[in-house]
Amino acid sequence: MEPLLPTDPDGLLEELSLQVLKRSAALFGTVHPRSRGCIAELLRTMNSYYSNLIEGHHTHPIDIERALNKDFSVEPAKRTLQIESAAHIEVQREMEQRLAAEPNLKICSQDFLCWLHREFYARLAEDMRIIKGEHGETRVLIPGEIRVDQVKIGSHVAPAASALPAFLARFAERYAPERLRPAERLIAAAAAHHRLAWIHPFLDGNGRVIRLFSKAFLIGIGVDGHGLWAVSRGLARDRDAYLAALISADSDRRGDLDGRGNLSAKGLALFCEYYLRTMLDQIEFMASLLEVDVIERRINAYVKRAAIDGELPPEAGAVIGAAYLRGEISRGDASRLAGKSERYGNALVAKLLHAGLLRSESPKGVLLFHVPIRAVGYYFPRLYPAGVEEAVSG
């Protein structure tokens, strides 16, 4: 699978990496830490939605929200997709917590990759671990176990099962962030995404593990913007381009001017360019949504519509906006922001908590910004595809 890092003679990949670093850092500074947590949780759901979409599975965001509340459909097919989505979110959350608690965790190791796979499949029903082969045969997948069978994905014949430990050991050695120069790390994140897909270590679930691993890699090198953007949205918005980029990087070396490895150095460089540009596109997209004046205007537009329908008073916009900008507000602040009495403020707070537009960690605790699924299309338009967004916003 050499080369594991592309050559960059004109410095294009390094320049793209620097842009990603700068713009991700700038995005991080635009949102209060407590509000960042709310948006990161929202994007975990979005990440699950788009990761499923890449696999060819459409799980509506409303159904994902219901799954997180253990409200599963009676329709078997829809229930299966709900379980998959909830599992992805839960594993991502647990992964982020583990990375925070274990800063020296070897994220490129076989152990960590198997942990991701095991945690995901352990959350699925047993019948969801039965894998059908191309000739109708069935095999039972064991969570966290590397495959013992030969597999072919499209035209790509993955490495023999007996060789997987050697490939994964080389993968862990070359891509370990601590062994890379700072300028190489983002390029390595892109290259590792492809090379792990090329290795195809598991019987099934490789795509989900790869995308979770890529998220872990970005967290590990400090470039994930604390959950304020996600590359999966960009990959899924043009799934064909993503799959074509992966396939192109599978190519064998094309002559003496195409590196010295077994695989095409040019193909890997083109995939890394594609991946870095996709990251940059998603950072810029989220930056446009999180501009302070823009999000305040959208919050007020949502409240205005709710006021017309008799669901909220117009003063609610100032309270929600303050919670977003300040990260938290006291219950007493609500009446002052609304310009009303304490009694009115208490009633308004109760209404906003019930509607999910604010949340609190205790009955008398401070008030925090929150985004219920029906407000997503107003606060953060285009987070989901148009038809899905309209259904979410009702």
- Whether 218 and 352 map to the same domain: the answer is no
pLDDT bracket for residue 121 (50, 70, 90): very high
Domain presence at residue 19? no
Domains: count for the chain: 2
Looking at this protein, which amino acid is placed at residue 198?
W
Q: What is the pLDDT of residues 43-62, one digit of tens each?
A: 999 999 999 999 999 999 99
Does residue 21 belong to any structural domain of this protein? Answer: no
pLDDT, one tens digit per residue, over 256-278 is 777 778 899 899 999 999 999 99
Of 265, 289, 313, the residue at which a domain comes to its end is 289
Q: Model pTM?
A: 0.93
| Residue 134 belongs to some domain of the structure | yes
Looking at residue 175, what is its pLDDT? 98
Same structural domain, 282 and 296: no
Both 378 and 245 in one domain: the answer is: no
Range of the domain at 348: 292-393
Q: Are residues 262 and 316 in the same domain?
A: no
Q: Within a domain: residue 180? A: yes
Query: Are 178 and 96 in a shared domain?
Result: yes
Same domain for 206 and 144: yes
Of 234, 262, 289, the residue that ends a domain is: 289
Q: Are residues 116 and 204 in the same domain?
A: yes
Q: Which amino acid is at 207?
A: G
- Domain end, chosen from 273, 289, 305, is at 289
CATH number at residue 199: 1.10.3290.10
Residue range 312-335, pLDDT digits in tens: 999 999 999 999 999 999 999 999
**Measured between alpha carbons, how far is 123 from 134 in angstroms, rounded to an integer?**
25
Q: How confident is the model at residue 392 (pLDDT cuts 50, 70, 90)?
A: low
